[in-house]
Amino acid sequence: LKEQESELKLIYETTKKKIKKSESNLRKAQKIAQLGSWELDIEKQKLSWSKETYRIFEKDSKHFEVTHNTFYDSIHPEDRDMVSRIYKYSVEKNKPYQITYRLSLDNEKIKYVEEQCETFYNDNQIPLKSFGIIQDITDRKKNEDILKTGSCYIVVSNLMHQLQFLI
């Protein structure tokens, strides 16, 4: 019996270390990708965020209470209705979604995020929980805008050059 107890303790400790390492690797990967995750227990209306989600929203996990309202307050006012409608439609129709929207942070800073969500249901098709990922795409959005501006400049330049020959 002591031998089995010792063996079980070893298995427990080994498994515990593997789980900690796996969680640590997940946090590192999320930080590098600027990709957070969130989960909403629909019945309890309990929203939880990963550490990276707190970083994306620039909130301190020790002093910020994540709720449905505090989440929506962080969304840019012009995007709130769209985000709300898409989420509700997704839950009603049992369809995952992907959406890009803006965050309006406390320091008046605007961030662009891309979010994907899927809702899980019981056997009676009652929604139980939604699970989502959210990625900070602000830098990508800025680079796209620079490329668009640069492309417009090149097109206008080329048109101006062509017009010289017509005049």
Residue 51 three-state SS: helix
Q: Which of 19-28, 83-92, 152-161 has the highest mean pLDDT?
A: 83-92
Whether the pLDDT of residue 116 is over 80: the answer is: yes
- How high is the pLDDT of residue 157? 61
Write down the pTM of the prediction: 0.77
Please report, rounded to a whole number, the percentage of residues in the chain having pLDDT higher than 70. Answer: 87
Whether the pLDDT of residue 147 is over 80: the answer is: no
- How high is the pLDDT of residue 22? 83
Residues in the chain: 167
Q: Which residues pair with 27 in a beta bridge?
A: none
Distances (CA, A) of 114 to 36, 45, 50, 59, 164: 10, 23, 16, 18, 44
Query: 27, 44, 45: which is closest to 36 by C-alpha?
Result: 27
CA angle (40, 43, 45) in 5-degree steps = 50
Spatial CB neighbours of 77, under 8 Å, sequence gap ≥ 6: 104
CB 52 within 8 A of CB 36: yes
Query: 153, 143, 66, 158: which is closest to 112 by C-alpha?
Result: 143
Whether the pLDDT of residue 153 is over 70: the answer is: no
Per-residue confidence at 166, pLDDT binned at 50, 70, 90?
Answer: low
